[in-house]
Amino acid sequence: MEKVISINDVTYHYKDNRALNKINLDVYENEWLSIVGHNGSGKSTLSKLIVGLLSMQYGEIFVCNTLLTEENIYDVRKKIGIVFQNPDNQFVGTTVKDDIAFGLENSGIERPKMIDLVDEFSEKVGMKEFLKREPHNLSGGQKQRVAIAGVLAMNPNIIILDEATSMLDPIGKKEIISLIKELNKNKNITIISITHDLEEAAHSDRIVVLNKGEIDMIGEPNEILLKEEYLKEIGLDVPMSVKLTNKLKKSGVDIKTSVTKEELIENLCQLNLKM
């Protein structure tokens, strides 16, 4: 697969605090990569370096084969969209329609095309009927959908979700995870999810575990999430599906590995059929 981001020996310090230490990581086209870690592990610092919100101190980052520098940062940002933890901090328009159109208007998109794009992407995220509503009066899940629509309208190659589901209720979180899946698989958008929620990370293609500014592990969800004791040691709580699978195995039940709720339900049904 083609690399869309290459991070080479990246180190970053906040005064006397080393947030990242010699990070080397490749992100591939059309994959969903989750970067997980406890608070202070360096994951948000890494996301801000990728989009140029923090200036590089040591190392290099390539985005779509272009070295990220201060001179080309605005060109590189056209290839990456980012959705933050609190969507209220991203809203600038008085209505949903105005907010989705904001980036397009700043890019000089002609009005007829801009209107078409707002309609298209508000519909893709299920928010077309809310175009005349004020963003601040929406639910948490709806706000994130609006923020994602605004990013999608700019046609990025990559979307970074920086703790984008952490403030949502279970229904809103489920909606956003379903939307991420659809964007990744059907729209061929590379997704980088910055999160401490392993329930969310379980749905991704690969997981990177950051601990104290360094990469501890990289692997598929069924490799990483079954290491229950290790994850607890570094301050992460494994998904309930993994906890239940491990308990069943310890009690002698021959059940397949389950890292998501959907997999657990399927495996329990198969187990029931065998019995």
Q: Is 70 exposed, middle or buried (0-12, 13-18, 19+ CB in 10 A)?
A: exposed
Distance CA 135, CA 84 (A): 15
Options 163, 175, 200, 263, the catalytic residue:
163
Angle CA 261–266–270, to nearest 5:
145
Distance CA 62, CA 170 (A): 36
Nearest to 209 by CA among 29, 52, 5, 42: 42
CA distances in angstroms from 145 to 89, 219, 256, listed in the order given? 14, 29, 34
163 is catalytic: yes
Output the CA torsion 211→217→218→223 (10° steps): -120
Nearest to 173 by CA among 195, 149, 206, 151: 195
CA distances in angstroms from 43 to 10, 124, 209, 213, 215, listed in the order given? 12, 29, 9, 8, 10
Q: Which residues are catalytic?
A: 163
